[in-house]
Amino acid sequence: MKIRNSLICRFSVFLAFIFLIFVAGCEKENKEILIGKWKYVKHYSVMGGENYLKLENQLIDEYTKDYIRSRYDYSGNEISKCSYSATNSEITLFGENLNGTKWNLKYEYRFLKDTLRLRINQGEYNDDFFIRVE
């Protein structure tokens, strides 16, 4: 009986180890897929419904390996830049205003096929949808 319990315990530890490797690998892979340029094409809110953006409102967000998020207008002009951090399910944008005030915004994110969905949840949620352009 002791041998059987020992084998079950060892097998359980082995499975837990494999699971940890799998989870750690998935998190790194998910964050790396965020890197690139994404075009903001649609907004959804509970109160306002689904709205596709006109060309002049389609911003481009670029996430780099250096943890910088740059935002460009539809003509390609950079309009803002900040730092970001990402987990497997959340992006935090942060920076400092010219007056020294520090700020941060947290978004849940998820990939839906070739689309990046950012969700900000402040009681009611709003979703912003981006498609990869690079």
User: pLDDT tens, 8-34?
Assistant: 656 554 444 454 444 444 444 567 889
Is 95 among the domain residues?
yes
Bridge partner list, 52:
42
- When pLDDT is averaged across residues 65-90 and rounded to a whole number, the result is 95
Tell me, yes or no, if the pTM score tops 0.75. no
The pLDDT of residue 134 = 83
Residues spanned by the domain of 122: 35-132
Is 69 among the domain residues?
yes
The pLDDT of residue 8 = 62
The pLDDT of residue 25 = 46
> 20's torsion region: left (phi>0), alpha (psi -120 to 50) or beta?
alpha
Burial grade of 128 (CB within 10 A; 0-12, 13-18, 19 or more): buried
pLDDT above 50 (res 3): yes
Q: What is the tally of structural domains in the chain?
A: 1
pLDDT tens digits along 100-126 = 999 999 999 999 988 999 999 877 889
Is 124 among the domain residues?
yes
Task: Give the CATH number of the domain where residue 65 resides.
Answer: 2.40.128.490
